Each structure stands twice: as C-alpha cells, then as structure tokens.
Amino acid sequence: MKRKNWYLTIGAVLTAFMLAFTALGLFWTPFEPSAMSAPDRNAPPSAAHPFGCDAYGRDVLSRTLEGAGSTLTIALAVLAVGAACGLAVGALCGYYGGPADALVMRLCDTVAAFPSVLLALVVLALTGPGKYNVIGALGVLFIPSFARLVRGEYLKYRDRDFVRSARLMGVGDLRIIFVHILPNIWPTLLSGLTIGFNNAVLAEASMSYLGIGVTPTEPSLGYMLKDAQGSLFTLPWCTAFPAAAVIALILGVSLVGEGIRDRMGAAS
C-alpha cells in the first residue's frame, strides 16, 4: 500500500488556491484597489468588505488580490531569468570545464559572496524603483546560485557510461547536454526552483517594504505591509491578509517541491 504523500497533496491544494486567487485579481476585484472612501476608513472585516478597509478607506481584499498577482508575476519572471541563464551557464561550464569554467565560477563566487537582496538594493538605488528594474536586478543576481547548482550535477554525469556511449555514436554536444543529461538532474533542479521562487517572493516583498522595489502606484504585497506598519495593532487586518498571502505562496510551492522529491525518491 502506497503511503499518502501529504506534502504534495496539501501543497498542490494551497498552490492551486493561490493561483486561482491571483488569477481572479487580474480580471476582477470587488472595488477599485486604489479608490479611497472616507465613510469606510478603518472599517473592520464585514460582509461588504471581507478583509476590511485601511486607513484611507481602500478595500484590503481588492488590494490583496491585485498585490498578490503582481508579486507572483515578478517572482516568476525573476525565476525565469535566473534559472534559464543559470541553467545554460552551469550546463556549459560543467560539461566542458577548463579555464573558462574556472573564470565563470570565480565570478559567481564573487557575486554570491554578497547577499543578493543587498546587491539588488544597490542596483535599484542607481537605476530607480520599478517592476522591470526589480525583475532585471534580481534575475541577474539569481544566476550564480543556479549556475553552481547545475554545474555540480553536470560534473557528476558528464563521464557516465550513457554519455560516453552517446559521444561514440556521434551525438552532438548540445544534444548530450540538453537531451541526455538534463532530464537526470530534474530532482535537484526542482529543489533549486522551489527555493529560488521562495527567495524571489521574499526579496520582492522585502524591497517593496523598504520602499525601493516597485513604485507606490504599482500593486505589491510588500508595499501593503509597509503601508500598514503604523497600524499593526489598531488595524491588524491590513497586515494579516497581505502577510498570509505571502506565506501561502511560499508554503504551497515549498510543499509541492518536497512532495515531488519524496515521490521521485520513492520511485527510484
């Protein structure tokens, strides 16, 4: 009898809920997220406003819907840039090795020696805040971690028997790299992707909270938390719901990744 994979089940449900929640915010919100209403200032959760209203009378549910969509979009874009570039760099360095590999890895070590969020803050201080600047800064800074992860896996597989057989049969290097070896590193790469996604969500939220991420006119869960920090105890719903959205995004993806790794481990 197979053991129930609760990590995967709970993570899939939570992730599916958050994806549906963010997708809903792209097409519909109960109120205009930035619309202020004097009569609704500081209103607690109610039937009309399930998440309550903030100090400006703005509907917290509408702002959370919009902010979650923005945060998820930025995190996925950062992950795509970092993972795609890191995969290419790590695969080529791990497969070929040589002086170019040593030089690229030293460069990655130099970048990785500094906290990525701190470097992103420096970059954004020079380029200015904004969604695309955040994606560019974080995406580039996520490349070294993925490159080192992928390179380590390719070092393990490049001299395996199936790779040598492919070379003897005249298979090209690029086909060996991306068709023969790449499928074997998916479990490790999946772990890196889940950690990278969580780091991207936290990094975006942190920078927006510090006021140097997205601009105040753009939706962001981090900026909502910054906006509500002065009313943490008087208007707790203004902080609780955006914070819960950040936690749910991170927890759901983490549990899915853990569940898939457990399933792959049981199958092997």
pLDDT digits (tens, 9 = 90+) for 189-200: 888 899 899 989
Angle at 148 between CA 142 and CA 153, to 5 degrees: 130
Q: For the segment 72-96, what is each residue's pLDDT rounded down to a tens digit?
A: 999 999 999 999 999 999 999 999 9
Task: Report the alpha-carbon distance of residue 150 to residue 143 in Å, rounded.
Answer: 11
pLDDT of residue 216: 75
Q: For the segment 200-235, what is each residue's pLDDT rounded down to a tens digit?
A: 998 888 888 887 878 777 778 888 888 888 888 889
Scanning the chain, the segments in alpha helix (DSSP H) are 6-27, 60-96, 98-112, 116-127, 131-157, 161-168, 173-175, 186-209, 221-227, 237-267
6/51: higher pLDDT: 51
pLDDT of residue 1: 37
Residue showing tokens 């909270």: 209
174 in Cβ contact with 95 (< 8 Å) = no
Task: Report the alpha-carbon distance of residue 223 to residue 221 in Å, rounded.
Answer: 5
Q: 23 pLDDT exceeds 70?
A: yes
Q: For the segment 95-153, what is each residue's pLDDT rounded down to a tens digit?
A: 999 999 999 999 988 888 887 777 887 888 788 878 888 899 899 989 999 999 999 99
